Amino acid sequence: MPPEPPSAPAPVALRPGTDAERQLLALMERACDGGTWSLTVPQACLRLSNNLAAMLEVPPAHAAPFVGLADFFAPESRAMMQAALDACLVQGAAFDLEAQVVTGNGNYLMVRSLGEAVRDDHGAVVRVQGVIQNLTEKKRAEQESLSVTMRLSTTLASITEAFATLDRQGRFTYLNSESERMLQRTSSELLGRQIWQELDESDSSRLRTDMQEALAEGLHLEFEDFYPHLGKWLALRAYPFEEGIAVYLRDVTSLRRSQEQLLLLQTSISRLNDLVLITEAGSIDEPGPRIVFVNDAFEKHTGYSRGEVLGKAPRMLQGPLTQRAELDRIREALTQAQPVRAELVNYKKDGTLYWIELEIVPVDYFNRGLTHWVAVARDITERKAAEDEIEHLAFYDTLTQLPNRQLLMDRLKSALTRSGRTRDIGVLMFIDLDHFKVLNDSLGHARGDQLLQQVAIRLAGSVRLSDTVARLGGDEFVVMLEHLGDDPDLAIDRARAAGEKIRAALSEPYELAGHAYHGTCSIGITCFSQQQHGMGDLLKQADLAMYQAKAAGRNAVCFFDPAMQAAATANAALSSQLRQALQDHEFVLHYQPQVGPGERMLGVEALVRWQHPARGLMGPDAFITQAEESGLILPLGQWVIESACAQLARWALHPQTEPLSIAVNVSARQFRHPEFVESVLKIIRQHGIAPNRLKLELTESLLATGMEVTVAKMGMLKEAGVTLSIDDFGMGYSALSYLKHLPLDQLKIDRAFVKDVLTDPNDAAIARTIIGLAQSLGLGVIAEGVETEAQRAFLAWHGCESYQGHLFCAALPIDALEAFMQALPLQAAAEPAIAR
């Protein structure tokens, strides 16, 4: 409520002189939302303009009991206003105050009150006049603006990103604390400076160009750039507004570096020759994990583009020959989040089959658990083809494409195991073509080969798919029939019928390059069942039966006669004699030189001989097989190694013979003895020889079973320095898939391949393949049985430069060998050269 005013004359209206002046004054008052007043002295007569009276909600000339101007002001401002009026009246001091007034209706207004004194000619104050301006709306707007400003400041302060505002010239008008930290300057240092002066002062500054364009056209702006002054990558987002532009800054240096590293990694992976495929770690079940990345090599190799495989499952690369067992093994590993390696068949987009060596590893991204699978694959199709070719050469006859002896023996071994378990009777047929040598001599080897090929076709067509037809060599074939029942008589009848069918098929006329040929065959048959039979025994029995057929006039089928077991008795007697020969020291060593490039003598092979008291000097073919079967090969082999090491120790004393090595054949049974490695190393230590001078020639049969033990033993010998070689390579079980893992030094080409290397394309192909295999594995290669210069030249042309055979020297007793070496001219390397 307004204060109680004292009784006094009412204010009168302020009246300017002319109408024009009054109109002008009213216009000015409306413009400033105010009014004028005048107080005369000494009458103390207060005059109010119409606008002021209206603002104060009093009549311009009403009889309200106000004493003076101060009475319009709120109580808390009244004393201040009265003091200002008094000072103006007495001293002529002008005033300009802001205070509250109370209108006639009790409303409070915020006003600005200005007053000044008017003096007469003598300087005395005769009147005070002034203006009261209504500031209520302005103050309310200022308060609201202040409130908005406070809220905005609070909001800006809460922004975690660097934030700043610029005027339309790009000058800073506001920066939050994060901006100061990022720009490494305080607000007082930056306010008023253009942003590009702080970040990029170059004339070609993208920041300046893009910022000015955004300001001019009111465009939203967003980009990343590197600012050397700060040494940082910054992401800038700018939003123009009426007074300027708001800018958000974010340090993306770490992100950029990560992106650069990722780009480098992606580029490296993309350029790899290996196939790289990454999938999400989704369910292994249908449809399977989805592909999220493949590299360039994958696209190039498979024919699929990224767009064709991304989002698909890797099983799209599989086909009918993809190995189910390998897929199950991979699935099991993935289910357990374990890495896995495999060799797998996949298919290209055009349907072409290819082999890969695959490694899959799990990815745990930032310890979030399994997120992805990374698969790296290498195309091994060529390697597989080479392995298949070598395996085919090792297990199949190249002329007829039938299984060879080794594969036959593998299948026979399995058949014997099954027969012993099921009691089914099987038979082995030994088939020899009658008068085949006559055909070769009369019509030539080419027609002889054609006959062998046609015989192979007829044999395969005469038996069941489950039976085995093999070629042992020359004109000798073997047929193995299984599952003939458990009744011996019925089985024999069935075998006889099968034999007669084969004999009749092979007796049909042949067309050999325009020449009609009529041939026959002789067939020997032996049965096997649950009784224990050695594979060698069965072949011998069938072979003996075949010779019975030939003796009966050829073109016949004969069964094995148990009376033929007389040979077994002879073998038993031989075993007894061998045992006595070991006790009586009847065995001796002969040595055959091994030569290398330039026909320099590299060493010798120790070959055991039996100085039989009645039969004279006997070669190993007469007793080694029986020594193997009787177990006497163990003490005999031990003696050979001891004798060879003793000879090496004697040679080490002389410069001419010190570099020579001695190769010793080691049988599979001898090698598999638990104490073999320890025994060899003990002998080497006892004689004090260089381990590498002793070369152990191992048979391929070692690779048939127990690979882990074999590799471990070979590794121990190799680590000790002993030289290791595979003897008669290509004749037995070549575990080609493991060969690259064996610690070998050398492969030895069997004399059987060398003998006909110039006339038999099969032997030539095998010899070339073995040489190439040795070279690819970084192994040495030596050929035995080299008897002619033409054979040596052929082997040398294809990369074999080490030889052994009668072309250079026969196997000699030690005295004859040393005399032979003394007669040789010495070379610079102190190794004797072979003179021919």
Q: What is the pLDDT of residue 9?
A: 43
- Which residue intervals of 742-823 are DSSP H helices? 751-755, 761-776, 789-797, 814-822
Q: What is the pLDDT of residue 715?
A: 92
Q: What is the pLDDT of residue 830?
A: 47
Instruction: Identify the residue whose tokens are 């993306």.
Output: 252
Q: Is the pLDDT of residue 161 over 90?
A: no
Q: What is the pLDDT of residue 771?
A: 93
Instruction: Identify the residue whose tokens are 């099954």.
Output: 418
Q: Where is pLDDT greater, at 10 or 831? A: 831
Rg (CA), the chain: 56
Phi, psi of 290 (to 5 degrees): -90, 140
Q: What is the pLDDT of residue 759?
A: 92
Confidence of residue 281 (pLDDT cuts 50, 70, 90): confident
- How far apart (Å, rounded) are the C-alpha atoms in residues 674 and 636? 16
Confidence of residue 490 (pLDDT cuts 50, 70, 90): confident
CB 723 within 8 A of CB 644: no
pLDDT digits (tens, 9 = 90+) for 690-721: 999 999 999 877 776 677 888 899 999 999 99
- How far apart (Å, rounded) are the C-alpha atoms in residues 456 and 461? 9
CB 5 within 8 A of CB 66: yes
Instruction: Identify the residue whose tokens are 């750039």.
Output: 225
Strand-pairing partners, residue 364, are 370
- How far apart (Å, rounded) are the C-alpha atoms in residues 650 and 658? 9
Confidence of residue 569 (pLDDT cuts 50, 70, 90): low
CB 733 within 8 A of CB 763: no
Residue among 576, 591, 571 nearest 812 (CA): 591
Task: Using DSSP, state whether 425 is helix, strand or coil.
Answer: coil
Question: Chain-wide mean pLDDT for the chain?
Answer: 85
Q: What is the pLDDT of residue 1?
A: 45
Four-CA torsion 72, 74, 79, 81, nearest 10 degrees: -50
Phi, psi of 721 (to 5 degrees): 105, 0
Sign of CA dihedral 701, 703, 709, 713: positive
- Residue 506: other Cβ atoms inside 10 A: 23
Average confidence (pLDDT) over 277-296: 82
Residue among 667, 675, 670, 735 nearest 699 (CA): 667
Q: Where is pLDDT greater, at 47 or 479? A: 479
Sequence-distant (6+) residues with CB within 8 A of 167 are: 173, 243, 244
Q: What is the pLDDT of residue 64?
A: 40
Q: Is the pLDDT of residue 54 over 80?
A: yes
Average confidence (pLDDT) over 513-532: 86
Strand-pairing partners, residue 372, are 280, 363
Strand-pairing partners, residue 685, are none
Q: Where is pLDDT greater, at 830 or 433? A: 433
Q: What is the pLDDT of residue 745?
A: 92
CB 356 within 8 A of CB 346: yes
Confidence of residue 5 (pLDDT cuts 50, 70, 90): very low
Residue among 478, 476, 385 nearest 434 (CA): 476
Encoded amino acid at 256, one letter: R
Q: What is the pLDDT of residue 741?
A: 77
CB 238 within 8 A of CB 165: no
What percent of the chain has pLDDT above 90?
40
Average confidence (pLDDT) over 223-230: 84
Residue 161 exposure: Cα atoms within 13 Å on the Cβ side: 14
Q: What is the DSSP letter of 24?
A: H
Q: What is the DSSP letter of 561?
A: P
Confidence of residue 16 (pLDDT cuts 50, 70, 90): low
- How far apart (Å, rounded) are the C-alpha atoms in residues 38 and 61? 13
pLDDT digits (tens, 9 = 90+) for 574-595: 888 999 999 999 999 999 999 9
Average confidence (pLDDT) over 368-380: 84
In terms of C-beta density within 10 A (0-12 exposed, 13-18 middle, 19 or more buried), how is residue 680 classed? buried
Least-confidence region, from 187-201, 279-293, 599-613: 279-293
DSSP string, 222-242: EEEEEETTTTEEEEEEEEEET
Q: Is the pLDDT of residue 836 over 60?
A: no
Task: Using DSSP, state whether 596 is helix, strand or coil.
Answer: coil
Q: What is the pLDDT of residue 267?
A: 65
Q: Is the pLDDT of residue 156 over 80?
A: no
pLDDT digits (tens, 9 = 90+) for 748-766: 998 989 999 999 999 999 9
Least-confidence region, from 96-105, 467-476, 556-565, 684-693: 556-565
Residue among 240, 275, 270, 269 nearest 165 (CA): 240
Q: Where is pLDDT greater, at 211 or 160? A: 211
- For the record, the structure tokens of 253 come out as 């240096």
- Which residue intervals of 17-61 are DSSP H helices? 19-31, 50-55
Q: What is the pLDDT of residue 305?
A: 92
Peptide bond into 42 cis (omega under 30): yes
Antiparallel, parallel or unpaired: β 780-784 and 746-749: parallel
Confidence of residue 63 (pLDDT cuts 50, 70, 90): very low
Task: Using DSSP, state whether 201 is helix, strand or coil.
Answer: coil
pLDDT digits (tens, 9 = 90+) for 110-142: 999 999 999 988 889 888 999 999 988 888 888
- How far apart (Å, rounded) are the C-alpha atoms in residues 810 and 607? 11
Q: What is the pLDDT of residue 154?
A: 67
DSSP H/E element including 151:
helix 136-158
Least-confidence region, from 59-68, 101-110, 129-138, 722-731: 59-68
Q: Is the pLDDT of residue 100 over 60?
A: yes
Mind spelling out the 3-state secondary structure of 246-279? EEEEEECHHHHHHHHHHHHHHHHHHHCCCEEEEE
Confidence of residue 834 (pLDDT cuts 50, 70, 90): low
Q: Is the pLDDT of residue 825 over 60?
A: no
Q: What is the pLDDT of residue 704?
A: 66
Q: What is the pLDDT of residue 117?
A: 92
pLDDT digits (tens, 9 = 90+) for 544-555: 899 889 988 899
Whole-angstrom CA distances from 264 to 257, 258, 260, 508, 735 are 10, 10, 6, 72, 42
Q: What is the pLDDT of residue 194?
A: 87
Q: What is the pLDDT of residue 10?
A: 45
pLDDT digits (tens, 9 = 90+) for 653-668: 999 899 999 999 998 8
Antiparallel, parallel or unpaired: β 244-251 and 353-364: unpaired
Phi, psi of 439 (to 5 degrees): -60, -45
CB 306 within 8 A of CB 299: yes
- How far apart (Å, rounded) are the C-alpha atoms in residues 350 and 551? 60
Evaluate if pTM is beyond 0.75: no
- How far apart (Å, rounded) are the C-alpha atoms in residues 699 and 486? 37
Q: What is the pLDDT of residue 828?
A: 39
- For the record, the structure tokens of 318 come out as 């599989």
- Residue 248: other Cβ atoms inside 10 A: 17
